[in-house]
């Protein structure tokens, strides 16, 4: 993607990534994003779930949703998504850091009215929460689709920022007798909990996509940025 | 905290929490936040790390940092922090959800010039990344403190939103032959990686606070909101 005046990373420019694959990878792996918008010149931000389909980011909510109302009214949005990959412990306070991958996306959200596109967007939102799920669960009726507000933000003006690796200490601090290094982190799933309203036999048949869940594309992204996501203990 | 027109949760108002303990707990456990601000009426948002000391939220960065410059100029900020606690699988697409705890905080960031307060803030930032670390690593010099921009946002106008539990399906869908339930998630640490510049003996002595790291206060918060964070597999 071509950096614009808004997406050109100024601080720590060596961490900037403008390639679409990295931007898409962060958006796909992040379980939520934050949508910022301005109301009468004052900042608002709301965390929400999202899904990417090609070069479009979809958001959804009830029609009364404040964020969506503002966006529908033509307000620009700034969407951020962030993955924390690890904690970085330097020999000085000053150089402590976190390893992360983040995306900042600017755009104008437009309301999706086409029922077929809304269905595609909602399927993507379900799949974003749990890949493989949309074929099992009941699809929405046209009435439900009409009652859901869906917004599309083009993924055109965006940048990613990535920090990987260990601490970078001042030369003068290298001789200090202090352990330094980094601690990889990742999102880990626990034991699935069946809905109490399921009967016993149904409750026991946990779908495979639930049992094997892991963050979308995390291994691939970990390899791409040269980080030790795979080294995290299972 | 008293809800204001900005912090009164309108959508899913039953999920709103205005008590200071919940707001503080989310800010303390979240490893990063997103700071939104408006520039010429257009939204910007930047992910960053933060730390709480009492009723103050501290942010920091290099003096050239765009976010900090805007905030120093007197711009209001909207800080959000979000923890995803699980994935919620309903019998219909429509009722899929995530379990989460989030905070939205509005305020005016002021620059901290007092060297003693800056030191307190930076210690809190180090401790936020890794509790117990600040006593081991080298403290900043007064020169380093002067070269770091620190902002303080009062935690006065804030609200939390919390979703817990399993899916809430339409009555008509309860008979569908579809597994439903929720999958708890949590942040898990991997194997600490020593800085290659450490000598072998030093590299092997990983501090206990690194070996036992877990998200700050996650067990306590999990108990408070009645969620099964403790049930997550180790």
Residue of A nearest to B87 (CA): A129
CB A64 within 8 A of CB B10: yes
Predicted confidence at residue B226, as pLDDT, reads: 33
Does B184 contact A189 at a Cβ distance shorter than 8 Å? yes
Query: Closest to A102 (Cβ–Cβ): which among B47, B79, B180?
Result: B47
Residue B25 has pLDDT above 70, yes or no: yes
| Mean predicted confidence (pLDDT) in B119-128 | 96
Does B93 contact A194 at a Cβ distance shorter than 8 Å? no
The C-alpha atoms of residue A113 and residue A116 are separated, in whole angstroms, by 9
**Interface size between A and B, measured as CB pairs under 8 A:** 318
| Mean predicted confidence (pLDDT) in A147-164 | 94
pLDDT band at B128 (very low <50, low <70, confident <90, very high): very high
The pair of three-digit structure tokens given for residue A80, joined into one six-digit string: 């951020």
Does A228 contact B190 at a Cβ distance shorter than 8 Å? yes
**B138 vs B17, more confident:** B138
Residue A228 has pLDDT above 60, yes or no: no
| Mean predicted confidence (pLDDT) in B97-120 | 95
Is A233 a domain residue? no
Does B98 contact A32 at a Cβ distance shorter than 8 Å? yes
Residue of A nearest to B30 (CA): A84
**Percent residues over pLDDT 90 in chain B:** 71
| Cα A219 to Cα A29, A160, A232, B86, distances in angstroms | 10, 18, 11, 20
B130 to chain A nearest CA, in Å? Answer: 8
Is A3 a domain residue? no
| Mean predicted confidence (pLDDT) in B52-77 | 78
Which of A11-15, A16-20, B67-71 is least confident? B67-71
Which of A13-22, B48-57, B148-157 is least confident? A13-22
Predicted confidence at residue B217, as pLDDT, reads: 57
Predicted confidence at residue A66, as pLDDT, reads: 65
A155 to chain B nearest CA, in Å? Answer: 16
How many structural domains is chain A composed of? 1
Predicted confidence at residue B72, as pLDDT, reads: 60
CB contacts of B65 in chain A (<8 Å) are: 11
Domain with residue A97: its CATH number is: 2.30.110.10
Does A198 contact B206 at a Cβ distance shorter than 8 Å? no
Q: Is A186 helix (H, G, I), strand (E, B) or coil?
A: strand
Does A32 contact B65 at a Cβ distance shorter than 8 Å? no
pLDDT band at B71 (very low <50, low <70, confident <90, very high): low
The C-alpha atoms of residue B94 and residue B97 are separated, in whole angstroms, by 9
* Cα dihedral A74→A40→A32→A186 (10° resolution): 140
Does B180 contact A187 at a Cβ distance shorter than 8 Å? no
CB contacts of B186 in chain A (<8 Å) are: 187-188, 190
Residue of A nearest to B232 (CA): A190
Residue of A nearest to B126 (CA): A93
**Percent residues over pLDDT 70 in chain B:** 87
Note down the domain range covering B75.
Answer: 13-169+176-216
The C-alpha atoms of residue B3 and residue B157 are separated, in whole angstroms, by 7
Mean of all residue pLDDT scores within chain A: 88
| Mean predicted confidence (pLDDT) in B121-138 | 96
B84 to chain A nearest CA, in Å? Answer: 8
Is A102 a domain residue? yes
CB atoms within 10 A of CB A54: 9
The pair of three-digit structure tokens given for residue B65, joined into one six-digit string: 């940092």
Residue A176 has pLDDT above 90, yes or no: yes
pLDDT band at A72 (very low <50, low <70, confident <90, very high): low
The pair of three-digit structure tokens given for residue B60, joined into one six-digit string: 């920091």
| Cα A110 to Cα A56, A77, A113, A148, B19, distances in angstroms | 11, 10, 9, 14, 36
CB B66 within 8 A of CB B125: no
CB B83 within 8 A of CB B101: yes
B41 to chain A nearest CA, in Å? Answer: 4
Does B45 contact A36 at a Cβ distance shorter than 8 Å? yes
Query: Closest to A178 (Cβ–Cβ): which among B92, B100, B136?
Result: B136
Predicted confidence at residue A224, as pLDDT, reads: 33
The C-alpha atoms of residue B81 and residue A4 are separated, in whole angstroms, by 27
Rg (CA), chain A: 20
CB B102 within 8 A of CB B80: yes
The pair of three-digit structure tokens given for residue A112, joined into one six-digit string: 């999706």
Predicted confidence at residue B11, as pLDDT, reads: 75
Predicted confidence at residue A14, as pLDDT, reads: 84
Is B228 a domain residue? no
Is A59 a domain residue? yes
| Mean predicted confidence (pLDDT) in A205-230 | 62
Q: Which of these, A69, A44, A9, lies nearest to B76 by C-alpha position?
A: A44
Predicted confidence at residue A230, as pLDDT, reads: 29
Q: Which of these, A174, A12, A208, A175, lies nearest to B183 by C-alpha position?
A: A208
Is A139 a domain residue? yes
CB A26 within 8 A of CB A83: yes
ipTM of this complex prediction, to 2 decimal places? 0.89
Is B5 a domain residue? no
Predicted confidence at residue A67, as pLDDT, reads: 62
Residue of B nearest to A83 (CA): B32
Predicted confidence at residue B231, as pLDDT, reads: 28
Interface test with A, best of B16, B73, B89, B92 (most A CBs within 10 A): B89
Predicted confidence at residue A136, as pLDDT, reads: 96
Interface test with B, best of A80, A195, A206, A232 (most B CBs within 10 A): A195
Is A79 a domain residue? yes
Residue of B nearest to A130 (CA): B87
Residue A214 has pLDDT above 80, yes or no: yes
pLDDT per residue as tens digits for the range B145-201: 998 999 999 999 999 999 999 999 999 999 999 999 999 999 999 999 999 999 989
Q: Which of these, B140, B125, B229, B119, lies nearest to B185 by C-alpha position?
A: B229
Does A140 contact B198 at a Cβ distance shorter than 8 Å? no
B21 to chain A nearest CA, in Å? Answer: 20
Residue of A nearest to B8 (CA): A66
* Cα dihedral A17→B29→B85→A216 (10° resolution): 20
pLDDT band at B227 (very low <50, low <70, confident <90, very high): very low
Interface test with B, best of A10, A16, A34 (most B CBs within 10 A): A34
* DSSP codes of every residue in A37-78: EEETTEEEEEEE--EEETTEEEEEE-TT-HHHHHHHTT-EEE
Predicted confidence at residue A7, as pLDDT, reads: 85
């Amino acid at each position: 993607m071509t950096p614009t005046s808004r997406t050109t990373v100024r601080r720590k420019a060596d961490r900037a990534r403008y390639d679409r694959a990295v931007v898409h990878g962060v958006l796909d792996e992040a379980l939520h994003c934050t949508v910022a918008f301005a109301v009468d010149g004052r900042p608002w931000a709301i965390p929400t779930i999202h899904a990417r389909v090609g070069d479009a980011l979809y958001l959804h909510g009830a029609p009364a949703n404040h964020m969506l109302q503002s966006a529908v009214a033509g307000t620009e949005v700034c969407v951020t998504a962030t993955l924390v990959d690890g904690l970085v412990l330097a020999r000085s306070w000053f150089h402590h850091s976190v390893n992360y991958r983040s995306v900042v996306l600017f755009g104008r959200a437009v309301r999706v009215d086409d029922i077929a596109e809304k269905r595609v967007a909602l399927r993507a939102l379900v799949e974003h929460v749990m890949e493989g799920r949309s074929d099992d669960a009941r699809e929405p009726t046209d009435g439900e689709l009409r009652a859901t507000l869906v917004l599309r933000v083009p993924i055109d003006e965006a940048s990613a920022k990535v920090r990987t690796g260990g601490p970078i200490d001042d030369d003068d601090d290298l001789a200090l007798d202090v352990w330094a290094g980094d601690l990889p982190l990742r999102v880990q799933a626990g034991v699935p909990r069946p809905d109490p309203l399921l009967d016993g036999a149904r409750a026991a048949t946990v779908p495979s996509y639930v049992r094997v869940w892991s963050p979308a594309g995390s291994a691939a992204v970990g390899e791409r940025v040269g980080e030790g996501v795979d080294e995290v203990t299972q």
